[in-house]
Amino acid sequence: MSRPIRLLLALLVTALAVWAVRALPLERVAVSLASAQLPWIGAAVLAHLVIQPVAATQWGLLLGTTTPPLAWRTLLRVFSLTSVANNTANSLVGHAAGTTMLARLPGVGATRALSLLVLDQLCVGVAKITVLLVAMASLGAVSSGALPSWLRTGLLALVIPVVLLLFATVVAPRGLAPWLSRLPVIGARVHTWLEIVAAVPPRRVLAALGCALLVKGCEAGGIAAVQLAFDVPVTVHTVALALAATAVATLIPVMPANLGSYEGSVYVALTLAGISPTLALTVALAQHATQLTAAIVPGVLVAWWRSLTAVSQSRAE
């Protein structure tokens, strides 16, 4: 996509966002936000904070043994910085930044970092599909009507890349690796990448999948806490629909940190669950705020601490 087209799309999205904000009942939303029960908001932030160590553990499982060995706290530091990029720009920039930082770590390199990214996205994709299936089941339990189109579209948009990733990580290493090894330059590099992917034991991939599901559990806990903060009746239905909405909203990064699309999708999901429009919008805004706080603040603190350490070292020299 050319730069003028990207600029035009950005301006269009911004104009639509401004128009949507002006049409919102901001005074009622402000009053509703002021009624939040702060202990539950704090619990929501804490639930999202737990995601960082769990995700770092997931990376460690998929990365395997390196020479020299990588400390878990190093992976946690890199993940926290990657999370800042993911939640201030968009996920494509975040993944690129994370892969680059991982590749620069001793004993990792570009090929192993790319392998980690692919396996990580496979686990995340399966976890998101699970969330959508739970949301569909909960919707079917309370409504006999047809499933909303965004759930069906989101499931399809997730299943296709997951199938492709399964092919790249399961079928290709066994069926294509010998053939690719005969190709010059690119074939050899792809062959090396497939060997690294295939070398990850299945039990590690399953454990990493468990971590990805636990991350979704943490997100569900944060969502439930936000709903409790505004006296929304918390059920599997309301939490599953809101969690499914966030999974669909993050599929295609449009605005930085998914601003607008995140809130809009959660708003639609909650109104579908029978929540009033003003309260649904209030919960959507608070939910995204707690998620962003937990995703950005740790990485910012890590970057700040590293800059202080670098300054102290330079002065000592």
- Range with top average pLDDT, 2-6, 138-142, 157-161, 218-222: 218-222
- Which residue matches tokens 């449009």? 254
Exposure string of 57-86, with b = 16+ CB inside 10 Å and e = fewer, is bbbbbbbeeeeeebeeeebbbbbbbbbbbb
Residues in contact with 31: Cβ distance below 8 Å, sequence separation at least 6, in sequence order? none
Per the prediction, the chain carries an average pLDDT of 83
- Range with top average pLDDT, 61-70, 88-97, 168-177, 207-216: 207-216
> 138 pLDDT band (50/70/90 cuts)?
confident
> 263 pLDDT band (50/70/90 cuts)?
confident
> 120 pLDDT band (50/70/90 cuts)?
very high
214: pLDDT strictly greater than 80: yes
- Range with top average pLDDT, 20-34, 85-99, 113-127: 113-127
pLDDT of residue 1: 47
Could you give the percent of the chain with pLDDT greater than 70?
Answer: 78
> 189 pLDDT band (50/70/90 cuts)?
low
- Range with top average pLDDT, 79-83, 146-150, 171-175, 252-256: 79-83
132: pLDDT strictly greater than 60: yes
> Which DSSP category does 255 fall into?
S
Separation between Cα atoms, residue 72 and residue 53, nearest integer Å: 9
pLDDT in tens, 46-81: 999 999 999 999 999 998 888 788 899 999 999 999
pLDDT of residue 193: 65
pLDDT of residue 78: 95
**Do the beta carbons of residue 205 and residue 120 sit within 8 Å?**
no
37: pLDDT strictly greater than 90: yes
pLDDT in tens, 225-237: 999 999 999 999 8
Q: What is the pTM of this model?
A: 0.85
Dihedral of alpha carbons 254, 258, 264, 265, sign = positive
**Do the beta carbons of residue 19 and residue 201 sit within 8 Å?**
no
Helix pair 149-166, 109-142: axis angle to 10 deg: 150
pLDDT of residue 75: 95
